[in-house]
Amino acid sequence: MSEQVFKDNELLKANKSESYFAVVRRQFMKNKLAVGALIVLIFIILLCIFVPIFSPYSMQIFFADNRLIPPSGQHWLGTDIIGRDLFTRLFVGGRISLGIALAVTAITTLIGFTLGSLSGFYGKWIDTIIMRLTEVILSLPFIMIAIVVVALFGSSIQVLIATFGALMWPGITRIIRGQILMLREAEYMKACEALGINDFSRITRHLLPNLLPFIIVYATLNMASVILVESALSFLGMGVSPPTPTWGNLLEPAREMIHLANRPWLFIPPGVMIFLTVMCFNIVGDGLRDAVDPKSRGR
């Protein structure tokens, strides 16, 4: 009996000494669906990195006599309307779509953390100005504004990243503000104030570590959103312009009935990749949210 009590006490001490991130990681690993989605997502990212490197075909070189060839041993996903290998272009397009999503998420996270921290930490007129600006951005028709910007400045990758970054930061700003409003009343923050620690250190060294799990959850969910929006704009011809491939503009042949009815290899692979990637990001984001939420951990 005493031996069992000793073991229980040792286990309790180990749990108490376990870091917050170790608890989150352990809880996330219990979610088999989220772990499986993460594995699939990593596999897709690795394919996007290495397939273009080792492929015998360039994404730009085309062969006039190989136009619209169905999938075969030579061209695993067939060729497009000017004879380019679709297998290579699929993963080059994945690189660009994922790169755009990563860049936009980094920009929106930086803007959101900065404005959300200022709004929640200082309050008063700073909070009022930032929240009113957030509400204005949220009230704008996102797709329409993006189409107008692309029409005016061109459909380059840089224009898309800048446009998405300028319009997609309010969500994370409100999340950060809400968390800081709760955390700034904590005892350790009052102790920091009593010790005379400056505001920058209090935000970056004491608040940021507590906000990091929420930022990670937001980032995974935002990656999925950016991929979907970029794909929609590119499918409509308002995204990244050919010949640069993205998963969105690789779907363009589906706009023509002859391809839609007779040549499914032109648009099914990018559609499947968009579906799998977005689904995996969402599942991983939900798994992280459950791991971060103390109520979910309690259940």
**Residue ranges per structural domain of the chain:** 33-57+75-298
Residues 27, 220: Cα–Cα separation, whole Å = 17
Q: pTM value?
A: 0.84
pLDDT in tens, the chain (299 residues): 445 444 444 444 445 456 667 777 788 888 899 999 999 999 999 999 998 888 888 777 777 677 888 888 788 888 888 888 889 899 999 999 999 999 999 999 999 988 988 888 887 888 899 999 999 998 888 888 888 888 888 778 898 999 999 999 898 898 888 888 887 777 766 776 676 777 777 777 777 777 888 888 888 889 999 999 988 888 888 888 878 889 988 888 877 777 777 888 888 899 999 999 999 999 998 888 888 765 555 44
Residues 107, 105: Cα–Cα separation, whole Å = 5
**Who contacts 271 (Cβ-Cβ below 8 Å, separation ≥6)?**
251, 254
Contact 57, 88 (CB under 8 A): yes
Residues 212, 218: Cα–Cα separation, whole Å = 10
CATH entry 3.40.50.300 includes domain 33-57+75-298:
no
Instruction: Assign 3-class secondary structure to the chain.
Output: CHHHHHHHHHHHHHHHHCCHHHHHHHHHHHCHHHHHHHHHHHHHHHHHHHHHHHCCCCCCCCCHHHCCCCCCCCCCCCECCCCCEHHHHHHHHHHHHHHHHHHHHHHHHHHHHHHHHHHHHHCHHHHHHHHHHHHHHHHCCHHHHHHHHHHHHCCCHHHHHHHHHHHCCHHHHHHHHHHHHHHCCCHHHHHHHHCCCCHHHHHHHHHHHHHHHHHHHHHHHHHHHHHHHHHHHHHCCCCCCCCCCCCCHHHHHHHCHHHHHHCHHHCHHHHHHHHHHHHHHHHHHHHHHHHHCHHHHHC
Q: What is the model's pLDDT at position 226?
A: 92
Contact 178, 120 (CB under 8 A): yes
Q: What is the model's pLDDT at position 293?
A: 67
Q: 124 phi and psi, to 5 degrees?
A: 55, -135
**CA-based angle 59:60:61, to the nearest 5?**
105
Q: What is the model's pLDDT at position 298?
A: 47
Q: What is the model's pLDDT at position 292?
A: 77
Residues 79, 250: Cα–Cα separation, whole Å = 12
**Locus of tokens 């989605």:** 37
Q: What is the model's pLDDT at position 203?
A: 72
Q: 57 phi and psi, to 5 degrees?
A: -110, 145
Residues 262, 77: Cα–Cα separation, whole Å = 15
Q: Which residues of 146-167 are buried (b: 16+ CB within 10 A; e: fewer)?
A: bbebbeeeebebebbbbbbbbb
User: Of 215, 236, 227, which Cα lies nearest the Cα of 277?
Assistant: 227
